[in-house]
Amino acid sequence: MKKIAMIGAGSMAEAIITGILENDLIDKKNIWVTNSGNEDRLKNLETRYGICSTYDLRTLFDGADIVMLAMKPKDADTAIDSIREYLTDNMLIVSVLAGVSMNTLETLARKPLSIARSMPNTSAAVGKSATAIAVNERVSMAQLESIKQLFETVGLAKFVEEEQLDAVTGLSGSGPAYIYYLIEAMENSADEIGLDKQMAQELIVQTLIGAAEMVKNSSKSPAQLRREVTSPGGTTEAGIHVLEEFEVQQAFISCIKAATEQSIKMGKALSSELKVGKTL
């Protein structure tokens, strides 16, 4: 990995920049960023991280072996149209564009490309993303290693087939919001039972961290761990009975399925829109 050229300078691009630098993956002077015209944003990133920015595309792509597409998905056609002539077959194109297939990217570029399509989540901002990555057949073993190293700087990275990315979106892509929703509910309950809000939040967050670490580090299943803390006639059992009565587990399953189905629907609509008038 020699040089990364980022097209787009939003929050995900910044999270990845942070991860790269904190893990010393490449030198900050080899991270180059551009966007559609927000020069203040680019200058802010330059000042904060010591990276480089430019609107000169020849300079941006010169020597770049990784090109990251991090603009808004709806802007993919305009962005790729502007950089098409600079994309070469020895570059690895890394996409964080939700809903934009690898086939659509090649159609927009009008040429075959080595593509890694990723689905990180917002926890990348604190280095705790769960990122799924799909690649096409043109990606080399060396590029596979580079993309794995890149996304491991912001958390866990796993390779999947492209058709699984919608399910990943429903499960872990949107997953942080489900946990925030749970925390909201626990905070509201704390208020109703008379606990100080600030103290309650600290207890809730630590409880979630502890439970996650138990699942991560134990050979036992979540169901077994739950049973071990659910004593007959105890407080936990009383609470679990209410969750079962309201079918909370099934609600979460339905929630993730709905998010997955919406990801499929949005991806098809977006790909159809982006492909209008574009041919290889």
Domain ranges of the chain: 4-165, 174-246
The fold for domain 4-165 equals Rossmann fold (3.40.50)
What is the DSSP secondary-structure string of the chain?
---EEEE--SHHHHHHHHHHHHTT-S-GGGEEEE-SS-HHHHHHHHHHH--EE-S-HHHHHTT-SEEEE-S-GGGHHHHHHHHGGG--TTSEEEE--TT--HHHHHHHHTS--EEEEEE--GGGGGT-EEEEEEE-TT--HHHHHHHHHHHHTTEEEEE--GGGHHHHIIIIISHHHHHHHHHHHHHHHHHHTT--HHHHHHHHHHHHHHHHHHHHH-SS-HHHHHHHT--TTSHHHHHHHHHHHTTHHHHHHHHHHHHHHHHHHHHHHHHHHHHTT---
What does pTM read for this prediction? 0.91
Q: What is the pLDDT of residue 23?
A: 96
CATH, domain range 174-246: 1.10.3730.10
pLDDT the model gives residue 125: 94
Spell out the per-residue pLDDT of the chain, length 280, in tens.
Answer: 899 999 999 999 999 999 999 999 999 999 999 999 999 999 999 999 999 999 999 999 999 999 999 999 999 999 999 999 999 999 999 999 999 999 999 999 999 999 999 999 999 999 999 999 999 999 999 999 999 999 999 999 999 999 999 999 999 999 999 999 999 999 999 999 999 999 999 999 999 999 999 999 999 999 999 999 999 999 999 999 999 999 999 999 999 999 999 999 998 888 888 865 555 4
